[in-house]
Amino acid sequence: MKGNFDAAIVLVFASEGGFVDDRTDPGGATKFGITLKTLGEARGKAVSQSDVAALNREEARGIYRALYWDRISADELPTGLDYCAFDASVNSGPKQAALWLQAVLKVSTDGVIGPKTLAAASNADPAALMNAYCDHRLAVLRTLSTFNRFGRGWESRVERVRRDALAFVQHTAPSLPFPQLKEAPMDQTQSIFQSRTVWSNLIGFGAFILTLTGHGTSVDTGQLTDSIMQVVTAGSFIASTVFRILSTKKVAL
């Protein structure tokens, strides 16, 4: 399993919102996008509108996983496409989400994502497939009789899904081709020894010890600190320059 469900569920929750009972919505009363019918299926018994209104996120999360994510085999789909199909599954039903994917892939359309659909999806270009899927989803939604009522929201949602799905891919791809991991310890040491506060404290402590032993003299800690800082800064500059030249030569070899 790729484990993208946790990230995808956050985005779906944000799109669906809370309890809604719009008489013009064929799904009827919903909460988190879960209808009365779906909640009854999940609980295995008849439920009321008040049950839908009282639905909490933890139960909704379980329903999303069992009745939407798993039913489209999202764990087996390529990263990004899994979220595209999952959002469509929640919004329009898992069978419809599967049919749209099969239509875009030009494989047998039976509404069940099986080995052939998964293989075709894995062999397709991820970004092109996600864009094609979102385009096809929008094209179908625009033919629905309820588009005049909900169309603007649907279009906005699909475009968000497109953007976030592509971000899934970009985030999992190697985005730092030249990591500076070996230089981190040097940076950490440098930040300590170039600290004026550290050197001032050390000098002050030394002067205090000399005073206690009777060997103390009048010391201008500020001036001494400045002198030490100049030496440290110059040394750090020379060292970093030498190390950079040596590392560049190693890479070239």
Q: What is the pLDDT of residues 109-139, one digit of tens each?
A: 999 999 999 999 999 999 999 999 999 999 9
Query: Are 64 and 10 members of one domain?
Result: yes
Helix pair 36-43, 57-64: axis angle to 10 deg: 80
The answer to whether the CB of 113 falls within 8 A of the CB of 98 is yes
Choose one of 145, 172, 199: the last residue of a domain.
172
Q: Report pLDDT for 62.
A: 96
Backbone angles phi, psi at 132, to 5 degrees: -65, -40
Q: Among residues 155, 172, 189, which one ends one of the domains? A: 172
Q: Which of 32-36, 47-51, 239-243 has the lowest mean pLDDT?
A: 239-243
Domain housing 232: 181-252
Do 41 and 89 touch, CB atoms closer than 8 A?
A: no
**Does pLDDT of 92 surpass 60?**
yes
Residues 225 and 106 in one domain: no
Q: How far is CA 151 from CA 188, 190, 215, in A?
A: 54, 58, 86
Domains held by the chain: number:
2
Per-chain mean pLDDT for the chain:
76
Last residue of a domain, one of 172, 195, 220: 172
pLDDT in tens, 59-68: 999 999 999 9
Do both 167 and 45 map to the same domain? yes
The CA distance from 57 to 164, in Å, is 22
Regarding whether 56 and 151 lie in a shared domain, the answer is yes
Closest CA to 151 of 202, 200, 91, 222: 91
235 and 128, same domain (yes or no): no
Average pLDDT over residues 158-181: 66
Rounded CA gap, 16 and 92, in Å?
12
Looking at the fold, whether 116 and 35 belong to one and the same domain comes out as yes
Instruction: Name which residue leads in pLDDT, 81 or 247.
Output: 81
Q: Which of 24-38, 103-117, 190-204 has the lowest mean pLDDT?
A: 190-204
Q: What pLDDT, in 10s, does the model give residues 145-154?
A: 889 888 999 9
Provide the b/e sequence for 77-104 (b: ≥16 CB within 10 Å). Answer: bbbbbbbbbbbbbbbbbbeebbbbbbeb
**Residue 87 pLDDT > 50, yes or no?**
yes
Q: pLDDT grade, residue 19 (50/70/90)?
A: confident
Q: Report residue 170's pLDDT band, with 50, 70 and 90 as the boundaries.
A: confident
Same domain, 156 and 192: no
Same domain, 166 and 200: no
* Integer CA distances (angstroms), 231 to 183, 188, 198, 228, in order: 22, 18, 15, 5
Is residue 208 domain-shared with residue 110, that is, in the same domain? no
Verify that 24 and 132 share a domain, yes or no.
yes
The answer to whether residues 191 and 127 belong to one domain is: no
User: Which residues are within 8 A (CB) of 131 and not within 5 positions of it... i.e. 6 or more apart?
Assistant: 162
The answer to whether 2 and 75 have CB atoms below 8 angstroms apart is yes
Q: Tokens 């999952």 appear where?
A: 86
* Lookup result for tokens 């100049």: 230
Same domain, 214 and 162: no
Helix axes 126-141, 147-172, angle to 10 degrees: 170
Domain CATH number, residue 37? 1.20.141.10
Distance CA 138, CA 132 (A): 10
- The partner residues of 30 in beta bridges, in order of sequence, read 20, 35
